[in-house]
């Protein structure tokens, strides 16, 4: 393991793991709804799913603040008071353009060695996250009087697609720190009790 260049930031990185555990619990609610495990009126089931998806968007954004404790601006000032993903992502983008999680897949060779393959598509991008958060906000209001008589849209397919994108992004992801020698590698479902597992990785040479 590399020598941690910022050991004082370990509590913040631990907080990232806590946020990801909460995200998993919320995502499990969505998964259970899609499987029909709860007997609720469809309209209420859909609203509950969108509530969890909105919270998941916020947890991803807040997690980015926690993971990037090596940026001084994330430890004080307006970012500490913000919850809206749009504002968080915009500010982090100014401070560190490569702040967003990068999805990957573990590839195990016949000799037992493990390599990482980057996921190129099908995951929740920054643009997707902002679109989903806005969509959730629209759905979590009863609506104005001029719209009150419109039929309620009952469509779980949209929710299932968002769920797939979230899983694709986070199942195994990397976060590039400001010091480009280091990344956080995160496994959402480790072999040790299914908990979130995080490791600080150091680049020791050029990519093959």
What pLDDT, on a 0 to 100 scale, did the predictor assign at position 8? 62
Beta bridge mates, 173: 103, 186
| Cα–Cα distance for residue pair 133/41, rounded to 1 Å | 23
One digit per residue, pLDDT tens: the chain, 208 residues?
566 666 666 777 889 999 999 999 999 999 999 998 888 888 899 999 999 999 999 999 999 999 998 888 888 788 889 999 999 999 999 999 999 999 998 777 777 666 778 999 999 999 999 999 999 988 887 777 777 776 667 689 999 999 999 999 999 999 999 988 889 999 998 877 789 998 888 877 655 4
CA pseudo-torsion sign 161, 139, 23, 193: negative
What pLDDT, on a 0 to 100 scale, did the predictor assign at position 208? 47
In a domain, 208, yes or no: no
What pLDDT, on a 0 to 100 scale, did the predictor assign at position 196? 92
Give the number of other CB atoms < 10 A from CB of residue 42: 12
In a domain, 2, yes or no: no
What pLDDT, on a 0 to 100 scale, did the predictor assign at position 26? 97
In a domain, 148, yes or no: no
What pLDDT, on a 0 to 100 scale, did the predictor assign at position 78? 84
In a domain, 132, yes or no: yes
**For the chain, what is the domain count?**
1
In a domain, 45, yes or no: yes
Domain boundaries, position 78: 7-143+153-202
In a domain, 83, yes or no: yes
In a domain, 1, yes or no: no
The b-or-e profile of 119-156 (16+ CB within 10 A means b, else e) is eeeebbebeebbebbebbeebeeeeeeeeeeeeeeeeb
| Cα–Cα distance for residue pair 104/85, rounded to 1 Å | 23
In a domain, 17, yes or no: yes
What pLDDT, on a 0 to 100 scale, did the predictor assign at position 130? 97
What pLDDT, on a 0 to 100 scale, did the predictor assign at position 141? 78
**pTM, full prediction:** 0.89
């Amino acid at each position: 393991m590399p020598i941690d260049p910022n050991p004082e930031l370990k509590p913040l990185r631990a907080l990232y793991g806590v946020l990801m555990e909460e995200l998993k619990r919320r995502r499990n609610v969505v998964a259970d709804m899609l499987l029909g495990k709860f007997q609720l009126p469809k309209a209420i089931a859909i609203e509950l799913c969108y509530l969890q998806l909105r919270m998941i968007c916020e947890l991803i954004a807040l997690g980015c603040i926690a993971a990037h404790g090596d940026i001084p601006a994330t430890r004080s000032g307006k970012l500490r008071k913000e919850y809206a993903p749009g504002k968080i992502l915009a500010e982090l983008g100014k401070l560190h353009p490569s702040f967003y999680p990068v999805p990957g897949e573990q590839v195990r060779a016949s000799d037992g060695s493990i390599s990482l393959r980057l996921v190129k598509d099908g995951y929740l991008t920054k643009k997707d996250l902002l679109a989903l958060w806005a969509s959730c906000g629209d759905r979590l209001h009863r609506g104005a009087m001029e719209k009150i008589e419109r039929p309620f849209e009952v469509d779980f397919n949209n929710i299932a697609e968002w769920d797939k994108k979230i899983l694709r992004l986070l199942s195994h992801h990397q976060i590039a720190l400001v010091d480009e020698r280091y990344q956080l590698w995160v496994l959402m479902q480790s072999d040790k009790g299914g908990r979130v597992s995080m490791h600080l990785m150091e680049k020791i040479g050029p990519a093959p």
